[in-house]
Amino acid sequence: MQIIYKVWRWRTIKQLGNLTFAIILLLLIAAVSVLGTIIEQDHSIDYYQTNYPIHSGTILDVNWVVIKGLHIDQLYTSWSYLALLVLFGASLIVCTFSTQLPSLRNARRWKLKKSLSLSKPLYKQNTVKALSTTSNIYCLSKLSYHVFYQNNFIYSYKGLIGKVAPVFVHVSIILLLFGSMTSLFFSFLIQEMVPVKETFNFQNVVHAGYLSSIPSQIIGRVNSFHIEYYQDKSVKQFYSSLSLVDYTDNNNVKQGISVNNPLYFKGLTIYQTDWQINGLKVLINNKESLQIPMIKIKKGNNTYWFSNITYNNQVRYSFVLQALDGSIFCYNGQGQLIRKLDVKQNNIIDYLPIQVLEIITSTGLQIKKDPGIPILYSSFAMLIISTFISYISYSQIWISVESNQLLMTGITNRGQIKLEEDIFKLQKFLK
């Protein structure tokens, strides 16, 4: 009974590696992926109520109730979709171990044929004269064939690495699925807007995998921030100087980042994403320090920051910035430009000393951890390599001496012309 159970279990497992079953799974995954592309993913219920309203009386009406009820808005993270991916990966693993690897081992075995006269030889020579087995082996070796012989029979092959390509393809797809699952379960994404000279930890989580862990022992600080402008005052690049420290081992790093130039630390990747002006720090009458918040205003393609203060309930001043170049325009209560102020410059406006001590800014940071990325890159690299390897043809040549005749035949999985060239070179050597 135990033997019958083992046989049944092995047959059931082998069904996973069935080509038809794998194709069905692949088509199901493709169909679900297409549906997830058509129906927008991970939006609020208000979005779906607006874009997919209920139309009574229509056939196959895809409305927001259907989308939310069947969880179509979260297809790629649903357990049914993940189950399809796991089944497909299992199918590839079973196929690799039950079909591809045995085929590769079989390709290395000797395949000495008892007779070539029963087949259709590609070459036949009646007089073998003094040509010895050693000569034939030498010629085949010069053509990069691996040669085996027994009595009057010779078997040779080359391009065995071409048989490895299907195994590489399977392994690369398995790695791709494994890397995707790793990213889904263990990655996280955090967005932070941090004022300059302030410390921060990882709080504003945008996305986190089911098994991800947000590091609480790492603390960061924004040391400085500045912007590089073009001549027309448009932003060319913006930079932040960051410090990070891990209090568990006192490991720390200090580095500047910019767009497309992130910081790497303890598996984290920190990108420069955005920036904003929070306000002005102003010293009035050489004794009263104020922090004035600023409002962002868009006018056409231009962006401005605006704030105002009222001193002693009598005098009102407005401040306008367009860039972080230190130029601040000061206006009176009637909207008339008084003068341009520079940071840390002493100014007297209406007999009132005013000094702008600092422009208070924040830098936008994107903090990301995705352990699946190295696995995904490895799978892509393996897939590219296997594509090139697949063009290497696996060729086999048999030579035998039967009844004073030298017979030769050969087969190849691709590159028939190359095999015929090898046969022709052998013919020239044997004449």
Taking the domains of the chain in order of start, what are their residue ranges?
2-104, 108-159+393-430, 182-218+239-276+365-382, 277-363
Comparison of pLDDT for 124 and 373, the residue scoring more: 373
Closest CA to 144 of 160, 133, 128: 160
How many whole angstroms separate alpha carbon 221 and alpha carbon 407?
80
For residues 378, 379, 383, 389, the Cα torsion angle rounded to the nearest 10 degrees is 50
User: What share of the chain in percent tops pLDDT 90?
Assistant: 14
How many whole angstroms separate alpha carbon 93 and alpha carbon 317?
72
pLDDT tens per residue across span 61-120: 678 888 888 888 888 888 888 888 888 888 888 888 877 777 767 666 656 666 665 555
CATH number of 108-159+393-430: 3.30.310.50
Q: Are 167 and 100 in contact (CB under 8 A)?
A: yes
| pLDDT at residue 130, rounded to an integer | 41
How many whole angstroms separate alpha carbon 271 and alpha carbon 240?
10
Comparison of pLDDT for 223 and 42, the residue scoring more: 223
> How many other C-beta atoms can be found within 10 angstroms of the C-beta atom of residue 87?
16
Does residue 413 carry a pLDDT above 50? yes
Question: And the tokens for 241?
Answer: 């100087």
Question: And the tokens for 136?
Answer: 């034939």
Closest CA to 13 of 111, 90, 74, 119: 90
**pLDDT band, very low/low/confident/very high, at 123 (cuts 50, 70, 90):** very low
Question: And the tokens for 355?
Answer: 């000094």
Among the residue ranges 171-175, 213-217, 249-253, 398-402, the one predicted with the least confidence is 398-402
Does residue 377 carry a pLDDT above 90? yes
How many whole angstroms separate alpha carbon 235 and alpha carbon 251?
34
Question: And the tokens for 405?
Answer: 């005749």
348: phi > 0 → left, psi -120 to 50 → alpha, else beta; which?
Answer: beta
Closest CA to 364 of 227, 176, 253, 188: 227
Our CA angle for 102, 108, 110, nearest 5°, is 115
Mean per-residue pLDDT, 6-15? 64
Backbone angles phi, psi at 45, to 5 degrees: -65, -30
Does residue 259 carry a pLDDT above 70? yes
User: In sequence order, which residues have a C-beta less than 8 Å from that of residue 414 and are 6 or more positions away?
Assistant: 162, 391, 393
Q: Are 308 and 333 in contact (CB under 8 A)?
A: no
| DSSP 8-state class, residue 174 | H
> How many other C-beta atoms can be found within 10 angstroms of the C-beta atom of residue 157?
24
Element (H, E) at 402: strand 395-402
